Structures are given as C-alpha cells and as structure tokens.
C-alpha cells in the first residue's frame, strides 16, 4: 500500500484528502506546515507528497526544495490558491523546482485522485503537470 504525506495548514483540507485517499486504499500521514512535513518525511518513508504552498513555519516551496534534495525521484503534487493575492504564479515556481504535478485551489478532487493514481502506478516516471 502506498503511503502519502499531506502538508497543508487547513485541517479541513487534510481531513477531506485523508478520507478520499484512505477510501482508495492509501496510507496517509499529515503535517500542518512544511517544517513538520519535512521532519515526518525524514522518519517515515512515503511514496508521494501533496503539499500546499502557503503555510506557516516553512512554506511549500521551501519544503519542496528540501524534499527534492533528499530524494530527487520523490513524486510531489503542489497545490495553491494564494498566488493571485501575491501577484505571482507560485505553482509555476513549484514546477520549476521539481513538482511532479500542480493544482490550483479550488481543485477537482477527482482530478487530483486520478493524478495520484497515475503517479503511483507501476512504471510511472513521466512528470504530469495539471493546472
């Protein structure tokens, strides 16, 4: 069974994603910020990370860079809705830094789950980018 790490400061999003992923047979662990997520990754092996970009303590961009340094092959999905407020494309930055796929909030949960399934299927190594 694949293990997925969710990093998001919104407990409702964590709860929704956890329920949807566990219903599909995935093992899920969660962190409410990037620092906690990177720490969890160091102690618990995961197959895929779903990370928000705007979070306290360590944002998703910093966490993505730290995780990429530890494992260049790790499958990472970045999600964000905050770039519009900041007048910058945070998901583009995430892709440049190695996000395997990206989703803008609000995203379609079925599309996200389909991407998770594709990324975790045997032999999946081609980057998938969704917006």
Give the mean pLDDT of 28-39. 97
State the pTM of this model: 0.89
* Three-class DSSP category at 96: helix
For the domain made up of 3-120, give the CATH fold: Rossmann fold (3.40.50)
Query: What average pLDDT is seen over the chain?
Result: 89
Give the mean pLDDT of 40-68. 95
Give the mean pLDDT of 32-51. 96
- The pLDDT of residue 131 is 45
pLDDT tens track for 82-104: 655 554 578 888 998 889 999 99
Give the mean pLDDT of 27-39. 97
Provide the H-helix boundaries in the chain: 11-22, 34-43, 60-70, 83-86, 90-96, 109-120
| Burial label, 48 (beta-carbon count in 10 A; 0-12, 13-18, 19+) | buried
In the predicted model, is pLDDT for residue 8 greater than 90? yes
Structure tokens at 121: 């299927």
In the predicted model, is pLDDT for residue 128 greater than 60? no
**Would you kindly state where each structural domain of the chain is located, as residue ranges?**
3-120
């Amino acid at each position: 069974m694949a293990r997925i790490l969710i990093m998001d400061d919104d407990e409702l999003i964590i709860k929704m994603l956890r329920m949807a992923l566990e219903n599909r047979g995935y093992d899920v662990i969660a962190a409410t910020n990037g620092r906690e997520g990177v720490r969890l990754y160091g102690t618990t092996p995961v197959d895929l990370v779903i990370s928000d970009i705007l979070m306290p303590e360590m944002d998703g961009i910093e966490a993505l860079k730290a995780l990429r340094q530890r494992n260049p092959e790790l499958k990472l999905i970045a999600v964000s809705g905050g770039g519009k407020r900041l007048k910058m494309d945070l998901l583009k930055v995430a892709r440049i830094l190695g996000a395997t796929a990206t989703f803008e909030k609000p995203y379609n949960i079925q599309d996200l789950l389909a991407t998770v399934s594709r990324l975790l299927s045997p032999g999946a190594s081609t980057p998938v980018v969704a917006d």
